[in-house]
Structure formats: C-alpha cells, structure tokens
Chains A and B, each alone.
Chain A
C-alpha cells in the first residue's frame, strides 16, 4: 500500500519568513495530493491540492510543487503570519476507490 512520509515534524519560523514542508510517497499510482491545515481544537481543512498532471499550483501565499519522478511534493508558505500556526498534513491517493494516505503532520509555529 501507499506510504507517505512528512518532514519536518515541527517547524518554527519568524513572522514574514517562508516555511517549507516536504512529503514523499511510495505508490507511483498516486495522482492526487491534498494538503490540510488543522488549527488547535479545529477540524482539518483543505488549503490546497494538486493533481499528478500539474507540477506547481499557487493560491496567494501558498504553493504546492510536485515531482512525480522523485515521488515527492512540498508545501510552500511565503510571508508567514501568526495565523498560519497550525498542524499541516499532506496526503496522497490513487483516487477512485483507493484509500487516502496521510502524512504524520507538521506543527508549524510562526513567531511574531
């Protein structure tokens, strides 16, 4: 089955700096890669996703890049703000009726 590794497990950055979270996956059939943000005491929520036929996707201060050959994808947050502090989860799935596999999460702390 699919295995998703996520690094780092914790990340502290100064407000205004960039943050990068990296994930690797094992199943070459995976073709959909969502990222979720979970604030303290809240439900995980989708912040951005990418399909395997796309190399990069941006949404304001957030971007995701995908390298299918190396089987890794990354979340980039620029100009970080205190409200970006949360746990971030990457995920991968071949789609259809295959399971979604989540990474182990990254706790991001943005220091004002």
Chain B
C-alpha cells in the first residue's frame, strides 16, 4: 500500500548518542518534510526537500541534518542527542504539482535521557 513510513515509532536513548530517524514513502512524491511537534501542539518545520540532492532548513532552528539521496528516502540525523531534543518528529511528503496536500507518517516519539 502506498504510504509514508517512519521508524522507529518510539526511541528512548541517552544523551550524546547519534540518532537517525528513518522516513520512506512509496508514493513517488518529490517533496518531503520533517516537523517537530510536541503532542497536540504546533507543527514546526525543521527541514524540507524538493527532490534528490535538494535539502533546506526550515523555520525552527535545529541541530539535526538530513539527506536526500533517493526520492523515497529522507532520513533525519542528530549527531549528539540532548534532552532538549525530546519531542515527536513527523515526516511528510507531497506531490510536486500544485494544490497537493501533505501526507504524514505516524511519527517517531523521541525521549533523550
């Protein structure tokens, strides 16, 4: 089934660890996005990509990095996790044409101890 998949769903890890959150979509979408969201709160855009080898920083300052080597894959990496990174991270994708909504993944709930 065409969808957008995020792994892991939950992650509890210690301070200073390197973390990669995975996001893959099988819809052939050009655009992909990462949002940070505390439960039920505002969506903060942290990174986006409009195609392979294209990445941009979003509105929220973040110590994370992203890569887009394949159309379907858009991983988010935290080089050294801190307690302030504790949050939910949502990945989304959309078609490159006009008037197309974003499709969201189920999210990764990250807790840094």
Q: Decide yes or no whether B76 CB sits under 8 A from chain A.
A: no
* Total number of B residues with any Cβ neighbor in A under 8 Å: 21
Q: Decide yes or no whether A65 CB sits under 8 A from chain B.
A: no
Q: Decide yes or no whether A43 CB sits under 8 A from chain B.
A: yes
Q: A32-B98, A44-B104, A87-B40 are in contact. Are A99 and B90 (CB under 8 A)?
A: no
Contact at A102–B42, with CB atoms within 8 Å? Answer: yes
Q: Report the separation of the CA atoms of residues A31 and B98 in the bound assembly, to the nearest whole angstrom.
A: 9
> Can you report 12 A-B residue pairs in the complex whose CB atoms are below 8 A from each other?
A34-B101, A41-B39, A42-B106, A44-B43, A44-B90, A45-B104, A49-B99, A51-B99, A96-B98, A99-B45, A102-B43, A102-B45
The SS class assigned to the B binding surface is loop
Contact at A89–B43, with CB atoms within 8 Å? Answer: yes
**Which A positions have Cβ atoms within 8 angstroms of B?**
31-32, 34, 36, 38, 40-46, 49, 51, 87, 89, 95-97, 99-100, 102, 104-105, 107
Contact with A along B29-47 (1 / 0, CB 8 A): 0000100000111110100
Contact at B99–A43, with CB atoms within 8 Å? Answer: no
Q: Report the separation of the CA atoms of residues A32 and B94 in the bound assembly, to the nearest whole angstrom.
A: 13
Minimum C-beta distance from B27 to chain A (A): 14
Contact at A105–B41, with CB atoms within 8 Å? Answer: yes
Minimum C-beta distance from B39 to chain A (A): 8
Q: A102-B43, A105-B40 are in contact. Are A95 and B48 (CB under 8 A)?
A: no
CB contacts (< 8 Å) of A45 on chain B: these are 104
CB contacts (< 8 Å) of B41 on chain A: these are 105
Minimum C-beta distance from A82 to chain B (A): 17
Minimum C-beta distance from B45 to chain A (A): 7
A43 interface neighbour in B42, B50, B90, B101, Cβ under 8 Å: B90
Contact at B105–A43, with CB atoms within 8 Å? Answer: yes
> Top 10 nearest A-B pairs by Cβ distance?
A43-B104, A46-B101, A95-B98, A34-B101, A104-B42, A102-B43, A32-B99, A44-B104, A87-B40, A43-B106
